Amino acid sequence: MSVAHHLHNYIVLAIFLLVLTGMRPASVLASSNRISSVIKRTVSALSTSTSNKMQTQEIDPWKEIGGGAVNEKKRLHAANLPPSESHYDPSQVRSHLWHALEGLDRYPNYLSRWNDDDIDQLEKSLELQLNKVRQQRQSVQKRRHGIDKLVEKLLKQDGSGRWSELLKPPSDWNQVKSRILNPVASKTIFGSRMFKKSAPTVEEVMNGQVSVELDVGLLEVLMDEELYDVYSFHLLSKDFCQDVREYVIALAALGQDKEYEDLYVGRRPLDLDTMRLGWVNDLLFHLFMRPISRHLFQSTETLDDLDWRQGYVAGYSAHPAEGKPRNTLVTHTDDSEVTLNICIGEDFEGGALEFRGLRGGDHQGELVGTYEPQLGKAVIHAGRQFHDVTQVTSGDRFALILWARSWQGARAQTCPCCWLNRRNGKDCICGASRN
């Protein structure tokens, strides 16, 4: 029997008792209406709670082995929305929530025009989002702390000191040349006037204290244009690729111990910062992504400058298993202005990158080109470029991927809808003309 049915029985009993005590009919009716209102709110809250539990119990595609799912929620279409007494439902209809947020920002006393039920709906929706932030933050912090303990355990087992050496950031440019970069990439960096004239220290570059400028002529020699807004170039040495790849494999293997099973180490991409390889993020971001993006993407992606980065390693295999849980990846765009995708091995067949046009462009969704990954070679592209990974048919494929954003540029001038669909944003509600 449903909760609502039980509550209905209680209200009937309550009204009967009120009548027995001699309460006037009008007062009984008023009390009945108030109790009915309480029931509606209680049932609504219970329904929302049940819905939230069901959502949190949905399968996380990154916890599973096999397949090519992207870690995004399934969308509901209007025709499939659950029935609601109110037309306003910000918990289910995304645009309702956005309209309310814009109204609260734009108009004084915005909610004075609203009825209580709709204000309740808005408050519940905002609380749901806040709870989601808190729950995800708690989950992320737990996983990061657990993986850090796992790294510490791996280092203690490392008799040769190989992993300890890998986790140390380079102290000078000679180490960057000899240990990390492909010779062709080194020539581009250290042949540029900035490094010939008065080279900054590695630390200054990695901390973002110095803005790196690379010579356009050398970049043209280094880079090949695979297709519109997609470029490739030799970047990392084979030895460095091998070290990172085998470190990730060793960490994923150790993470299969029962005490670490809730970290899903071998089933989700491993974050470089969490693995104590944040220095790799910083070096590649400041030394390559920022200066290259200023030349290639500043106009098409409305960049001021890239000011945020996140890097991770993703594993694919013809025979998915822990540490390489996927054999393909469905078509998607990245939550980045610019993406750097570096193949770090191993031997494999299949696993090509297929590009399907820019979101919001004339060729959106069409296959416009295919790129075959090569060990140590990077491909850099706009994050809004649709792309997928074809099925790996033999061997194992690993990719080191960096996402970069411009919070001072595109994301400071356009709402997510305009950003996703490549509208220029001059009339966007988040643009300068309205703010």
Report pLDDT digits (tens) over 295-334: 998 777 767 789 999 999 999 999 988 888 999 999 999 9
CA distances from 39 to 3, 50, 116, 313 (A): 10, 16, 16, 50
Q: Give how far the C-alpha of residue 60 lies from the chain's centroid of Cα atoms, to the nearest Å.
A: 14
Class of domain 133-434: mainly beta
Report pLDDT digits (tens) over 130-156: 999 999 999 999 999 999 999 999 999
318 near 348, Cβ under 8 Å?
Answer: yes
For residue 67, what pLDDT is reported?
64
Q: Tokens 């809808």 — which residue? A: 417
For residue 410, what pLDDT is reported?
74
For residue 397, what pLDDT is reported?
96
For residue 49, what pLDDT is reported?
46
Q: Give how far the C-alpha of residue 191 lies from the chain's centroid of Cα atoms, to the nearest Å.
A: 35
Backbone angles phi, psi at 78, to 5 degrees: -55, -40
d(CA 433, CA 68): 42
Q: Tokens 């990846």 — which residue? A: 329
Q: What is the pTM of this model?
A: 0.81
Domain chopping of the chain, boundaries = 1-53, 133-434
Give the pair of three-digit tokens for residue 199: 């080279």
d(CA 351, CA 280): 24
pLDDT < 70 positions in the chain: 1-86, 302, 424-426, 434-435
For residue 36, what pLDDT is reported?
52
Contacts of 431 (CB under 8 A, 6+ apart): 413, 414, 425
